[in-house]
Amino acid sequence: MYQKDYILRMIEMLGDLIRGILGLIATGHFNQAEDKLDEVYYTMLHRDAAFFHDLPLERLSTTLIEDHNYSNDHLQILAELFFAEASLEYARKNYDVSRQHYMKSLALFEFVDSAYSTYSEDRQVRMQEIRQKISELKGTKS
Q: 8-42 pLDDT, tens per residue?
A: 777 788 888 999 999 999 999 999 999 999 999 99
Quote the pLDDT of residue 130. Answer: 97
Interior/surface letters 86-115, b for 16+ CB within 10 angstroms, e for the rest:
bbbbbbeeebebbbbbbbbbbbbbbbbbee
Tell me, yes or no, whether 142 lies in a domain: no
List of residues 6+ apart from 103 with CB closer than 8 A: 57, 134
Side chain identity, residue 32: Q
Arithmetic mean of pLDDT, 106-117: 91
Q: Compute φ and ψ for 58, nearest 5 degrees.
A: -60, -25
Among candidates 78, 30, 13, which has minimal Cα distance to 5? Answer: 13
Mean pLDDT of the chain: 91
Quote the pLDDT of residue 4. Answer: 62
Quote the pLDDT of residue 45. Answer: 92
Tell me, yes or no, whether 9 lies in a domain: yes
6 vs 97 pLDDT, higher one: 97
What is the extent of the structural domain holding 64?
Answer: 2-137
Arithmetic mean of pLDDT, 31-58: 94
When divided into structural domains, the chain yields a total of: 1
Arithmetic mean of pLDDT, 84-106: 97
Tell me, yes or no, whether 20 lies in a domain: yes
Per-residue pLDDT at 142 exceeds 70? no
